[in-house]
Amino acid sequence: MLMKWFLPDEHVNNVYDISPAALKKRGVRGVITDLDNTLVEWDRDDATPELLEWFQSMQANHILVTIISNNSKARVTSFSEPVGVPFIYKARKPMGRAFKRAIKDMGLKKEEVVVVGDQLLTDVFGGNRAGLKTILVVPVSKSDGLITRVNRQIERRLLTFMKKKGLVKWED
């Protein structure tokens, strides 16, 4: 069924609901995460203190984190370098190359990696196509850039359809 490509394995309110202990229990040793509206608002330049703590807790528990974003080199570099998190910019999600590169760079097997993101059409679809577990988070911000606004309209239709079919168990 085509819809399974857009269905996340899990849905949480935000990245802070994803704990190192829960990941380890599932055999996860690496997290590939989106940047904009997943970790911080799409127009925020730097990490919040709470997000810095989340990164530190992952590192303290030996869980590798890599940011992959469709955004520009300047945007992703200026956010990621100060927090010391590896990154891939202009990732062209949902295409698979960036996901495969992140897994290779982390030195992990795909069974040990989870993808975290706020969009069905890029993060979840791309992660599922790459054979990875996926976690959909509620977008950090209610506003989006132009392309993302178009994606959100398509996502709303997909979610409505999946709810009618009983595939989605969470509320918006």
Range of the domain at 30: 2-164
- Whether residue 101 is contained in a domain is answered as yes
Nearest-Å Rg of the Cα atoms of the chain is: 15
Could you tell me what percent of the chain has a pLDDT over 70? 94
In a domain, 97, yes or no: yes
pLDDT level of residue 163 (50, 70, 90 thresholds):
confident
Q: Which pLDDT does position 171 carry in this prediction?
A: 62
Sheet order of strands, 113-117 included? 10-12, 133-137, 113-117, 30-33, 64-68, 87-88
Structural domains counted in the chain: 1
- Mean pLDDT for the chain overall: 91
- Predicted confidence at residue 142, as pLDDT, reads 73
Region 48-70 average pLDDT: 97
Kindly state whether residue 90 falls inside one of the protein's structural domains: yes
Is 171 inside any structural domain? no
Indicate if the pLDDT at residue 150 is higher than 80: no
* 172, part of any domain: no
Answer whether 0.85 is exceeded by the pTM. Answer: yes
Does the structure show a pLDDT above 90 at 155?
A: no
CATH code of 112's domain: 3.40.50.1000
- The verdict on residue 58 lying in a domain is yes
In a domain, 169, yes or no: no
In a domain? residue 112: yes
Residue 78 is predicted with a pLDDT of: 95
